[in-house]
Amino acid sequence: MKIDCHMHTPLCGHANGSPSEYVEWAARKRLQLVTFTCHIPMDMGGFGNTGIRMKVKHLPKYFQIVDAARRVGERLGVEVLCGIEAEIYPDEQVLAPMDDTLKANDFDFILGSLHHFIPRYQDRLRAAHARTDFQKVETYFEDLANGAATGRYHSISHPDVIRIYGTVSHFDPADHEPSIRRFLAEVVTADICMEVNTSGFIKESRQVHPDPLILDWASEMGVKLTIGSDSHNPQSVGQFYETVLPLLKEKGFTHLHYHRAGNRIAIPIET
Ligand SMILES: [Zn+2]
Ligand SMILES: [Zn+2]
C-alpha cells in the first residue's frame, strides 16, 4: 500500500488544482490513500496569512471540496482523508484560537509545522536573541521539540525546513546533533510521528526533509514516520517516492503510518 499524507487545496491561495484532480493523480501513481492537509486558518494574524492560508469561514468549503474528492476516490480505489496542517509556535496563548478550530472540527490527521519565515517567528527569534545561524537553528529545534511534546499534533512536518527560505544561510545537522536528538526524543515520548516530506527535492537544498543524517538518528531512536509530498499541484502527489522509499528501507525503517479519525495505522514500506 502506498500513501501520501500531506497535500494542499487552492483555498490556501498558493496551490493549484482541485482536490479531485489530486486524487486522479494519486490513482495514476498507484497510491491507495491520500490525506489532504491544507494550512489551518490563523485569523488572529501574524502567521503570513494572505496567500498562505484560508480563513475560518472557508472551512465548510474545505470539507466540501475534500468530500467531492472522496467520492472521486471511491470510484478510483483511493481512500481520501481530511487532515489539516496546523502551526507550532512557542507561545501557547497565541495558539488558543487555532485550538478552537481543532476542537470544533473532526480532522483525521493533524500535522504540526513550524513555519520559521512568518513574521511572528522572526519576532520570536529576535526576542530570544538568536542572532547567528547556529543560535537560530538551536532555537528552532528547541521550539520544535516543545511543539512535539504538547501532543497536539499527530506528526511533525518537514522537521528541518529551517534550512530553506532564508532565515539561515548555513545548516548542517551534524552541528546540532544534541538539539535535534532532543526533538526526536520528544516525538518518541509523545508517541507521535515525524514526517518524511519529499517536497525538499524541489526546493533550494534538493534533499528530502529531514536530512538523511537526521533519518539515521530517527531510525536508531525508534521514531515513527508519516510520509507526504506536500503537493501544491496535482502532479506532485507521490513525488520522489521512487528515491525516498528505498532510502527509508536502507535506513532501517520498516513501516509508515497514516491516521484515520486520529487513530494511527502502520503499513509496511513498499518500494
Ligand atoms: Zn503551502
Ligand atoms: Zn504543507
Distance 57 CA to ligand 2 centre (A): 20
Distance 220 CA to ligand 1 centre (A): 30
Contacts of residue 184, defined as CB under 8 A and 6 or more positions apart, other chains included, come to: 194, 214, 217, 218, 221, 223
Distance 115 CA to ligand 1 centre (A): 10
- Tell me the pLDDT band of 172, cut-offs 50, 70 and 90: very high
- Ranges of each domain in the chain: 3-268
Which CATH number is associated with domain 3-268?
Answer: 3.20.20.140
Distance 52 CA to ligand 1 centre (A): 6
Distance 253 CA to ligand 1 centre (A): 27
Q: Which-ligand-closest: CA of 158? A: 2
**Which pLDDT tens digit goes with each residue over 12-45?**
999 999 999 999 999 999 999 999 999 999 998 8
Q: Which three cell numbers stand for residue 26?
A: 494519486
- Tell me the pLDDT band of 156, cut-offs 50, 70 and 90: very high
d(CA 237, CA 45): 30
**Which pLDDT tens digit goes with each residue over 75-132?**
999 999 999 999 999 999 999 999 999 999 999 999 999 999 999 999 999 999 999 9
Distance 228 CA to ligand 2 centre (A): 9
Provide the edge-to-edge strand list for the sheet that holds 110-113: 3-4, 33-39, 79-87, 110-113, 155-156, 193-197, 224-228
Distance 246 CA to ligand 2 centre (A): 23
